[in-house]
């Protein structure tokens, strides 16, 4: 009977110890994210038409809105993104994607995933404000060398007027502030 008790205690102690370690890692990530979130609230990017908020007060899930800049096909659009941070952030990249559809070379039309070097070659300790700034810069500087669709890249390179027209149409249809 004593042996059974000892075996159960040993097994439960290992489970408890593992949970405690995960909790410590999660707590560290939460503190890191809170610090980044607080710094972001005073960052100049917010003056460019960007907002950042928590989804359901969860520090691991953020909602980001970007206003489409004037002089781009995205002007007048309100683009919504989500940023989901893993427990091992900042050592593991966040998943950042568009919620509403956008006609853009570097964004998947079906999933909203973004093809951008700062995420593709993510380095630990990269501030999230740099990721957001990089995404915002894609409104101005699309990268035809790293497209989600080769057809879109061809259209962008060879029929830019048609590409911009579609981007404006999608902006009006999927990112209108009147929706």
pLDDT per residue over 117-131, tens digit each? 999 899 998 999 999
115 catalytic residue (yes or no): yes
Q: How many CB atoms lie within 10 A of CB 156?
A: 20
| DSSP class of 68 | P
Which one is catalytic: 115, 133, 134, 164? 115
Q: Are 9 and 16 in contact (CB under 8 A)?
A: no
pTM score: 0.84
Q: How many CB atoms lie within 10 A of CB 51?
A: 13
pLDDT per residue over 51-68, tens digit each? 999 999 999 999 999 999
Q: Is the pLDDT of residue 94 over 90?
A: yes
């Amino acid at each position: 009977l004593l042996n059974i008790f000892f075996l159960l205690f040993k097994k439960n102690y290992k489970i408890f110890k593992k949970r405690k370690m995960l909790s410590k890692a999660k707590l560290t990530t939460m503190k890191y994210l809170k610090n980044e979130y607080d710094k972001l609230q005073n960052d100049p990017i917010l003056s460019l038409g960007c907002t950042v908020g928590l989804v359901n007060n969860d520090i691991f899930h953020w909602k980001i809105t970007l206003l489409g800049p004037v002089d781009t096909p995205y002007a007048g659009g309100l683009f919504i993104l989500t940023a989901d941070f893993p427990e091992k952030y900042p050592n593991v990249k966040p998943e950042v994607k568009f919620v509403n559809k956008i006609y853009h070379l570097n964004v998947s039309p079906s999933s909203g995933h973004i093809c951008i070097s700062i995420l593709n070659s993510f380095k630990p300790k990269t501030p999230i404000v740099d990721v957001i700034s990089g995404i915002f810069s894609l409104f101005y500087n699309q990268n035809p060398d790293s497209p989600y669709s080769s057809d879109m890249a061809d259209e962008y390179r060879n029929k830019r007027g048609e590409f911009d027209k579609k981007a404006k149409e999608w902006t009006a249809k999927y990112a209108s502030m009147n929706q």
